[in-house]
Amino acid sequence: MNHKVFVYGTLKRNEPNHHWLTNPEHGIGKFITEGTTKTKYPLIIGTKYNIPFLLYSPGDGHYVRGEVYEVDDTMLSKLDILEDHPNYYVREIDDIIVNKSESSDRETVKCWVYFLKNFRPDLLSKEQFENYSSMGSHGLRYLE
């Protein structure tokens, strides 16, 4: 296991696509901790399928909460397929703030994050979230 990935949407625990990270046919994915982006980004819900998107617009939006996983090469390649990297989402290294194990101290770790980089500017006017849940009060349940 040599990659850390930050997930903020449907791949989180108790979300519709979490099974991707737990399916042994996809490789190894191990939950490490919860984390928050060190930089603010807009997290929106869009399309008729109510998909969460992390827009690559550093400084806009919120410090986004999510989960850090350690994954192997096989899992990372499967996640790239799921996220259609690099055609749709773009996977980039970013700083994520996490709790150090067994203490309340915080540390920054480098994680892969899937961003939407090529987006219409009007998406920045959509409601922006700090924490995604498909069953959230926004009423925009994810549709597969």
**Structure tokens, 108:** 């920054």
pLDDT tens-digit series, residues 122-138: 999 999 999 999 988 88
DSSP single-letter state for residue 67: E
Is residue 114 over pLDDT 90? Answer: yes
Strands 106-116 and 3-7: parallel
Q: Which of 34, 70, 83, 92 is catalytic?
A: 83
Of the options 1.40.20.10, 3.10.490.10, 3.10.310.10, 3.50.50.60, the CATH number for the domain spanning 2-125 = 3.10.490.10
Does 83 participate in catalysis according to the annotation?
A: yes
CA distances from 137 to 3, 49, 68, 132 (A): 33, 17, 24, 10
pTM check: above 0.85: yes
The pLDDT of residue 102 is: 61
Cβ-contact 85, 114 below 8 angstroms: yes
Q: In the chain, what are the domain boundaries?
A: 2-125
∠ at Cα 116 (114, 119), nearest 5°? 180
